[in-house]
């Protein structure tokens, strides 16, 4: 059975991804900054819960030590992310600390465990808002959104995916644009996006691809997205 940890999994895309992964037969860990919320979601969907704040080195280390002690890990889904709309230093640092540096923290903690898996995989949730191709394409929803810091942080996510794929070729790394989704981000609802169930299904497909899937790429609905 595949064991998968999803960060930022107490609501929205992360929660629905975790739910579908459980349904698909994965043993799922809910990575939650708020332990009480994580335990509630885990009980609701039949998963396990671990306190995990991707901006806190000690929290990350403790979380992966617990996962390792309880049987190891095959797949890491780096879903935790925030959006802040101010163009100022504190907001920019907070967004990058969560969206990009957080991936470095979790991936570095996970790699020693993943290397003991037969089919190790890391799925990083990126965004078309970090793609030059998408933001310049008038047919793409990304071309209509102004999100300078968030988009830049997601460009970093995609490049981290490529670089990790080169540095750790024994592990598959995939970045995903999960789709323009009807979930709240940065305090702003998005009622015009597609259902979260549809976007989560693309994450589940990537997390279930195994060693035959691509590595070091950015995908949208299973197809390469230029970036």
180 is catalytic: no
Token representation of residue 60: 């990350």
**Residue 196: count of CB within 10 angstroms of its CB:** 20
CB contact set of 225 (below 8 Å; sequence gap of 6+)? 128, 131, 133, 134, 177, 218, 219
Query: Which CA distances in Å does 175 have to 19, 59, 181, 192?
Result: 20, 24, 16, 23
Name the active-site residue from 150, 164, 180, 227: 150
- Strands (DSSP E) contained in the chain are 3-7, 27-32, 48-51, 75-78, 121-125, 172-177, 217-220, 223-224
Token representation of residue 116: 């003991």
- Gyration radius from the chain CA atoms: 16
Catalytic residues: 150
């Amino acid at each position: 059975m595949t064991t998968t940890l999803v960060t930022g999994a107490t609501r929205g895309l992360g929660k629905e991804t975790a739910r579908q992964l459980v349904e698909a037969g994965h043993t799922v860990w809910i990575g939650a900054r708020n332990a009480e919320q994580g335990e509630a979601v885990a009980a609701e969907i039949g998963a396990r819960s671990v306190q995990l704040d991707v901006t806190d080195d000690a929290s990350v280390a403790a979380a992966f030590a617990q996962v390792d002690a309880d049987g190891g890990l095959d797949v890491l889904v780096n879903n935790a992310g925030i959006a802040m709309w101010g163009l100022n230093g504190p907001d920019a640092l907070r967004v990058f600390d969560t969206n990009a540096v957080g991936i470095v923290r979790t991936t570095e903690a996970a790699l020693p465990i993943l290397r003991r898996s037969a089919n190790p995989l890391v799925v990083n949730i990126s965004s078309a808002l970090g793609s030059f191709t998408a933001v310049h394409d008038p047919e793409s929803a990304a071309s209509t959104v102004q999100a300078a810091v968030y988009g830049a942080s997601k460009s970093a996510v995609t490049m981290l995916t490529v670089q990790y794929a080169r540095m750790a070729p024994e592990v598959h790394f995939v970045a995903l644009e999960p789709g323009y989704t009807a979930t709240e981000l940065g305090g702003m609802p998005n009622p015009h996006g597609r259902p979260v169930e549809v976007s989560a299904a693309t994450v589940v497909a990537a997390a279930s691809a195994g060693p035959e899937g691509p590595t070091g790429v950015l995908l949208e609905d299973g197809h390469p997205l230029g970036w």
